[in-house]
Structure 1
Amino acid sequence: MRLRRCGAHAVLVELDSLTEVSAARAVLAGLPGVVDLVPAARTVLVTFAADVPRELADVLSAADLSAAPPPSGETVVLPAVYDGPDLELVAATADVSVDEVIALHAGAEYTVAFTGFAPGFGYLTGLPAPLRQPRLDSPRTRVPSGAIGVAGEFTGVYPRPSPGGWRLLGRLADDAPALFDADRDPPALLAPGLRVRFAAVSCAP
């Protein structure tokens, strides 16, 4: 673990794993004066209302960061249509059938590890091992809004059209909640620590 000052009111905590990030985020959430926590794959940016407290290093050093805290809140269920262009590629790479890919992805429970890349995009952990596959060799210049992809240990949903190199399994159904809505409070549907599941639905005729 390493601490890097970011001005007078923030510290970047560098860690070795997603598990440590999740554990540190839970510990820091209860620290007096914390204004914001921004977790990433191996870091947590901690912003304080006043000067960074002197006891921050002691609090983190004394904490057990070897186990992630349990997911929080209710489970967000995202209806999914599994008709993505990379379904057969993922199945072939995993040496399973397309139906097994769908069953594996929809049968798992995920946790939002952190958010980023685009407003509303959540990096979800809990992906079954056969679906943990590399990004595409050549990223797409445009991935449609609502596309469901996998890359490495993560799965996630593109909240808006953008370039991307994740392998696409499908898309959110038309009645799925918006991942990001500037007029909603909070605007982002997904937040670190939340549980997420995908519910396979049939494509409308």
Structure 2
Amino acid sequence: MNIEIASVDSVIIYFGDTITKENSLKVKAAYKILKELNNSALIEIVPSYVSVLLTYDTFKYNYKEIKELLEKELKDIKISSINEESKNIVTIDVYYDKEVGFDLEEVAKKSNLSVDEVIALHSSKLYDVYAIGFLPGFAYLASVDERLKTSRLETPRKKIPKGSVAIADTQTAVYPKDSPGGWNILGRTAFKLFDKSLETLSLITIDSKVKFNPITKEQFLSQGGEL
């Protein structure tokens, strides 16, 4: 673990320099420990792939004091204590079709698979949440089946529709709102990723696992999906 200054009122706690399952579990464990302190001086705690960004009240702590607190609380992180069989499984229904999955056929072609095989592989995994960012509710999920590993688009789209389910390299995600992006689109969901009424702003948190469930066009439209 390495603690570095990020700004006058924040630090970054690093648990490694590569994205691995072990480092991800350390991040999740540290995030849980810090949240459970219920310390009002810890203003914002933001987990990422291999680090946690912590913003703190400079009227309560200086850098030396916050560093000592973190070293004390996080010195004995036990990743085995993280429940890998998380009950917080979020199932997202997805309409997989070239009508909304703009890159579905191209991903199949590049992977030497049929479209049905791409859908089956993408929807068969139980994904871990590695980070949340870019947009509120945008969860970086990993890892997709190696056979689906696909590079980002050379030219990003100016507008990707809300609810688009996409992959890039070994990651997959859902766009919570219309936005630019360079990921490969496989389908679309009516699932509401961003909810400002929730404290976490989304049903998907760093402790979640995500499962994609293929549905028909009719089911997608009946759930409020838009083409």
TM-score using structure 1 length: 0.85
- Which residue of structure 1 lines up, in the alignment, with residue 103 of structure 2? 86
- Which residue of structure 2 lines up, in the alignment, with residue 2 of structure 1? 2
Superposed CA offset, 1:146-171 (max 9, x none): 00000012100011111110000000
Q: CA RMSD in A?
A: 2.6
8 A contact 1:139–1:165 mirrored in 2: yes
Shift of 1:126: 2.7
Question: What code does the residue aligned with 2:192 have?
Answer: A
Percent identity, aligned pairs only, is 34
Q: 1:37 to 1:73 in 2, by over 3 A?
A: farther
Residue aligned with 1:133, SS: coil
Query: Is 2:77 the partner of 1:77?
Result: no
Residue aligned with 1:192, SS: coil
Larger of the two Rg values belongs to structure? 2
Residue aligned with 1:88, SS: helix
Q: 1:30 to 1:202 in 2, by over 3 A?
A: same
Larger displacement relative to structure 2 (62-71 or 1-10): 62-71
Larger displacement relative to structure 2 (120-129 or 36-45): 36-45
The structure with more helix, counted as a fraction of residues = 2
8 A contact 2:139–2:174 mirrored in 1: yes
Task: Quote the Cα distance in structure 1 between the aligned partners of 2:3 and 2:199.
Answer: 32
8 A contact 2:159–2:180 mirrored in 1: yes
Shift of 1:18: 4.3
Instruction: Specify every segment of 5 or more residues in structure 1 that has no aligned partner in the other structure, as ranges.
Output: none
Query: Is 2:38 the partner of 1:30?
Result: no
Runs of 4+ in 1 over 6 A off after TM superposition: 65-68
Task: Quote the Cα distance in structure 2 between the aligned partners of 1:41 and 1:186.
Answer: 18
8 A contact 2:163–2:176 mirrored in 1: yes
8 A contact 1:23–1:69 mirrored in 2: no
Residue aligned with 2:88, SS: strand
TM-score using structure 2 length: 0.78
Q: 1:140 aligns with which of 157, 177, 180?
A: 157
Task: Quote the Cα distance in structure 2 between the aligned partners of 1:96 and 1:165.
Answer: 22
Question: What code does the residue aligned with 1:188 have?
Answer: S
Shift of 1:22: 3.0
Q: 1:106 to 1:18 in 2, by over 3 A?
A: same
Question: What code does the residue aligned with 2:213 have?
Answer: A
Q: 1:112 aligns with which of 129, 134, 148?
A: 129
Task: Quote the Cα distance in structure 2 between the aligned partners of 1:187 and 1:64.
Answer: 28
Task: Quote the Cα distance in structure 2 between the aligned partners of 1:130 and 1:114.
Answer: 23
Q: 1:127 aligns with which of 141, 144, 150?
A: 144
- Which residue of structure 1 lines up, in the alignment, with residue 210 of structure 2? 196
